[in-house]
A and B are shown apart, each in its own frame.
Chain A
Amino acid sequence: MSAHNDSAPNSPEPVDLNNPKLSRFEVYKEGLRRDDIEIIHYEPRFAKPGTKAEKRMERIVGGMFLFSGLFATAFVAAYIFWPWEYEGAASWRDLQTWYTPVLGTTLGLSLLLFAVGVLTWAKKLLPIEELVQDRHDGGSPSDDRKIAEATVDNMVEDMGLKRRPFLVKAALLGAAPLGLAAIAPLGALIKDPGDMLTVTGWNAEKHNDGEPVRFMMKDGALVRPDMVSVGGQITVYPAIDHGATNQFPTSPVLLIHLREADAAVLRGNLYPMYQDAEALWGNFVAYSKICTHVGCPTSLYEQQSQRLLCPCHQSQFNVVDNAAPVFGPATRHLPLLPFTVDDEGFFIAKSDFLVPPGPAFWNRPSLPEEDEK
C-alpha cells in the first residue's frame, strides 16, 4: 500500500448522482468522498462467493448463534425450574447447591457463544478493508471563527454587558446568594458533635442516673472477678440500656486478668493519672478496645508478648505499659477505664475514661501524662 497523503488533490472527482448508469457502489463511494474518506484496500473476504470455505464459516457462525440461544433457554429454564431454595448445610449432591453455578454457566456460555459468533462474523465474513479519513483536527476555519466571534460580540452588545456594568454586578450579587440557597438545605445534615467523641457509656451521670456503671458481657450477664481466669481476657460493655450495641461505639472495653508478674510491671509503669485514679483492680486491667488510630477494635491479644494488635492497620500496644503504642501508625495509648468491684461483687467503672477513647480529632482534649511515652 502506498503512502497516503491527505492533501486534497488526491481525492476523486465528484460524480453526477443523476447518472442512471452509476452502480450502487459508485453512489456509496460518493458518500465516502463527501466524508473525506478514501478506500485504501477493500476486497471481499472470499474471492469467490459461495465457496465451501465461506459456507463452512457461515455454518460455524450460525451454529454459535443457535447454541447461544440453546444456553439462554437453559438459563431461563434453570432460573425457573432448578431447585434453588437454600436448605442449610448440604452436600454437593443436593441439586440446590448448584443453582448459582448453573445460572453462571448457562448465561455465561450463551453470551460467550453469541459474542464469538458476532466476532467471527466480523473477522471472517466482512470484507477486508482499510480506509483513511481526513481528521480535520484543530479549530474551525478562520472565517467561521470570525463569524462566531461577531455573533457572540453582537449578543454581548445586544445585552449591553459592557455598557451596563451595574446590571452585571447586580446580577452577580443576586445570583451568589441564590447559589448558596441551593446548597443551604444540605445544612439539615449538620449536627453538633457535642460530647459524642468524649463521653462514653461508662459516664454514670449521663447514662445511669449517677449510679456507677457495671460491666456486662455481650449477652447482658454482669461480670465478676472469678469469670476471667489468670491470663484470660474478655470484652465487656457498660451495663446500661443497649450498652453492648453500636449505640455506644466507644465503650467496649477489654478486661484482662494479668499474671502476677505482668501486673507488677504494669503497676510500675502506670501513668500518674491512672495511679491517682487507682485504675487497676487487683491484677485486672480494663483497656478501651477502640484503637486510637482510626477506631477498629484492637481485638488480638497476644499473651506471650503482652501485646494488643489492631487487625486493621497493625498498631500494637503494650499491655504492661498503659497499652502505649509500640508499633504501627497509632500514636496514643488505649485509655484505661478505672474500675473496682462493688458490694455485690460485680465490676463497676469508677468513672468514664480519663481521656477520650478512639481516633483523634483536632480539638481532642489531652492530659500531659499522655505525652510520657
Chain B
Amino acid sequence: MKRRKGTSDSLLTKAGGELDDRFKLAIPGRILFNKVFPDHWSFLLGEIALFSFILLLLSGTFLALFFEPSMVEVTYNGAYVPLRGIEMSQAYASALDLSFEVRGGLFMRQMHHWSTLLFMASILIHMLRIFFTGAFRAPRETNWMIGIVLFWVGFFEGFFGYSLPDDGLSGTGLRIMEGMTESVPFIGPWASAALFGGQFPGTSVISLLYIVHVFVFPLILLALITVHVGLVFAQKHTQWPGPGRTEHNVVGFRMFPNYVMKQVGFMLFIWGVLGAMAGLFQINPIWLFGPYEVSVVSSASQPDFYVMYLDGLIRLFPAWELRIPPYFTLPPVFWPGIVGMGLSVMLPLLYPALERRFTKDRGHHNLLQRPRDNAGRTSLGVMVVVFWIIGVISGGNDVFAEKFDISLNAMTWAGRIGLVVMPIIAYYVTYRICLGLQQHDREVLAHGLETGILMRDPNGRFYEVHQPLAEPDEHGHTELEYNGWVVPKKMNRVGALEPADKGFFKSIEEPSEDGRAERRDEIESGKH
C-alpha cells in the first residue's frame, strides 16, 4: 500500500517535471491553484448561464446533425399521422422527424429549449445582482457592457433558434419581426427584402438564420463569454464588506480544490435539472402548430419569455401613426419595436458611464454595496423591473384575459396605464423602503437589539430593553459605525440566545460526533 502510493507520487512529480520543462507551468500553475475566491451564493448566478451555454452547444450540435435548414416544399409522410400528406417546408419536416423519428431527438430538442430559457433567465437574474450591488462600477464597466451585449446576442440567438423549425409559431414570430423591419424609415422595405430574399416569407430566410444561429452567433457568444469570465478572473471578484474585508484584498477560499469542486458540482447540478426537465416537461410541441401559413394563427401565440416584454410593448403602444402625405409613413410599431429595443440596448450599456457622470464617483470599488445603501440606484432598478414585468404580462394579455375572464381591452388599458404609473410608484416605494432599512440598521447600531423584554419603571412608563452591540466605551457610549454589511437584528444572531431550532425531520443543532458543536451564525462570521 505504501509503496504504491510512493510510485504514484513520483510519477506525478515526473509528469509535472516533463510538463514544466516544456510549458514552464510551475509559477502560473501555482498562482492558479492558490487564487482566492470570495464566497457568496449570489456570485454563482452567472455560472448558471455559463453551464446552460455549454449544454446548449452540446445539444445544439446533436440537433444540427438531423435538422435541414431548407424551405423547399415537401409533402410530409412521417410518423406523426395528423400531419401526413400536408405540404410543408423541409425545415419543419426535419424538425418533426427530430421529434418523432430520431432516437432521443425529442429529448434533445426539449433540452435545447429548456437550456435556452434557463440561459436567458439566469443572465437576467445575474444582471440584476450585478446592478443592485453596484458590481458594475469601476474597474468593471467593460465587463458589464460585455454582459449586456451577451444578453442581446443571446436574445437574437434564441429568437432565431425559435424561428428555425418553421412551424406556425416561428412563422408568426418572423412575421412580426418583418413588420418591425419594414417600419424603419427609408431602409425598411430594403432591409426586409434583404433578410427574406424578397417578399416575406420567401424561401431563403431559414438557411440565413441557420448559419447565424449555429455558427456566427455561437462564435460571438463563445468569444464574449471567454472574455467575460477571463476579466472576472483577472480583475478578481468583488466581495461583500465584512470583518477583514477591504477594497484591497479578497477573503475567501482557494480555487483548488474548494472552488473548482463546488463549480463542477454546481455545473452537474444544473445539467441534472435541465436533463430532468428535458425528459419530464414538454416545451414547444411544434407538431401541434402545423406548418407556417401566412393566413393561419391562433390566439395565445406567445414568444419565449425573454421576447415577451417587447411583444407586450408592441401590444400596448397606441395607434399613433405619423403621416406626412403623400409619401411618408411612420408606423406605430416603430416606437416600441425599433426605438424601444434600441433603448433597451443602449441605456443598460451606458448605465455605468451615466452613473459615474451623475455621482462623480471615479474611484475603484471592489466591495459590494447592499441595495439599501444606494436607494437611488435600487429604486431605478426596481422601476425598470416593474416596467419589464408589465411588458411581459401584457405580452400574454390575451391569455390572462381568457383565463381570468377579464376584458381584453381592459387588460390592454391596464397595461398602458400601468406602464406609465407603476414604475413611478415602484420608484417611490422602493426609495422609502431603502431609507427605512438604512435607518433601522443605524438604530440598532446606536441603541442595540430589541430584546422583547418589556420593563416598567417606577413612574409607570413601559420601555423595551435593548441589547447594545458593543461594549460601552469610557463615556458609556455603545454606538457603532455602519460599515456596509449586515447588522444583526435578532438576539440569536449575536449568540445571546440559542438559535432557533433548524432542521426539518430532526434537529440539526445536536452536537456532532467529533465534539464540535455546529457553528452558529454569529455576528463575527461575516455571513449574510
Contacts and interface: CB of A to CB of B under 8 A. Distances in A.
Interface of A: 1-6, 31-32, 34-35, 37, 40, 46-48, 51-53, 79, 84-89, 99-105, 107-119, 121-123, 126, 129-135, 137-138, 189-193, 196-197, 235, 237, 245-246, 249-250, 252, 289-290, 293-297, 299-300, 309, 311-316, 325, 327-332, 358-366, 368, 371
B323 interface: yes
Contacts of A131: 36, 251-254
B319 A111 contact: no
Contacts of B192: 193
A190 B301 CA distance: 31
Interface stretch (B330-338, B372-380, B423-431, B472-480): B330-338
A79 to B, nearest CB: 6
Interface of B: 30-31, 34-36, 73, 79-81, 87, 100-101, 103-104, 106-107, 110, 139, 172, 175-176, 178-180, 182-186, 188-190, 192-195, 197-201, 208, 236, 243-244, 246-254, 257-258, 261-262, 264-269, 271-273, 275-280, 292-301, 311, 314-321, 323, 325-333, 337, 364, 366, 397-398, 408-409, 412, 512-516, 524
A122 B110 contact: no
Most interface-central of A138, A193, A250, A371 (chain B CB within 10 A): A193
A46 B515 CA distance: 10
A334 B175 CA distance: 17
A312 B172 contact: yes
A105 B267 CA distance: 17
Nearest to B268: A115
Nearest to B332: A329
Contacts of B412: 314, 327-328
A132 B251 contact: yes
7 contacts: A6-B249, A137-B248, A246-B293, A249-B200, A296-B172, A360-B182, A362-B183
B298 to A, nearest CB: 6
Given A88-B81, A293-B179, A327-B412, A122 B262 contact: yes
A101 B279 contact: yes
A108 B275 contact: yes
Given A294-B175, A314-B408, 11 more contacts: A46-B514, A101-B280, A107-B272, A109-B276, A122-B257, A137-B236, A189-B197, A196-B189, A293-B179, A296-B297, A315-B319
A247 B252 CA distance: 62
A363 to B, nearest CB: 5
A294 B100 CA distance: 33
Given A193-B193, A360-B331, A107 B294 contact: no
B269 A126 contact: no
Given A100-B279, A112-B269, A293 B332 contact: yes
Contacts of B35: 35, 133
B253 A190 contact: no
A54 to B, nearest CB: 8
B86 to A, nearest CB: 11
Among all A-B residue pairs, the 4 with the closest Cβ atoms: A104-B279, A294-B179, A108-B276, A111-B272
A104 B275 contact: yes
A86 B79 contact: yes
Given A47-B514, A108-B276, A133-B250, A4 B332 contact: no
B295 A235 contact: yes
Does more than half of chain B's interface fall in helix, strand or loop, or is it mixed? mixed
Contacts of B179: 293-295, 358-359
A367 B247 CA distance: 67
Nearest to A79: B104
B182 A359 contact: yes
Contact of A328 (B186, B275, B299, B319): B319
A118 B263 CA distance: 9
B327 to A, nearest CB: 5
A318 to B, nearest CB: 13
B297 A312 contact: yes
B56 to A, nearest CB: 16
A111 B100 contact: no
Contacts of B252: 130-131
B85 to A, nearest CB: 12
A355 to B, nearest CB: 11
B301 A366 contact: no
Given A118-B264, A329-B314, A135 B250 contact: yes
A256 to B, nearest CB: 15
A43 to B, nearest CB: 10
A238 B101 CA distance: 36
Nearest to B201: A246
A104 B276 contact: yes
A128 to B, nearest CB: 9
B258 A129 contact: yes
A362 B279 contact: no
A229 to B, nearest CB: 21
B258 A126 contact: yes
A289 B294 CA distance: 9
Given A32-B34, A361-B182, A86 B100 contact: yes
B398 A314 contact: yes
A107 B292 CA distance: 34
A126 B261 CA distance: 10
B450 to A, nearest CB: 27
B104 A192 contact: no
Contact of B107 (A104, A360, A371): A104
Contact of B249 (A104, A135, A193, A329): A135
Given A289-B295, A313-B314, A109 B182 contact: no
B319 A86 contact: no
Nearest to A187: B194
B243 A1 contact: yes
B265 A331 contact: no
Contacts of B257: 122, 126
Contacts of A114: 268, 272
A130 to B, nearest CB: 7
Given A4-B244, A47-B514, A191-B194, A294 B273 contact: no
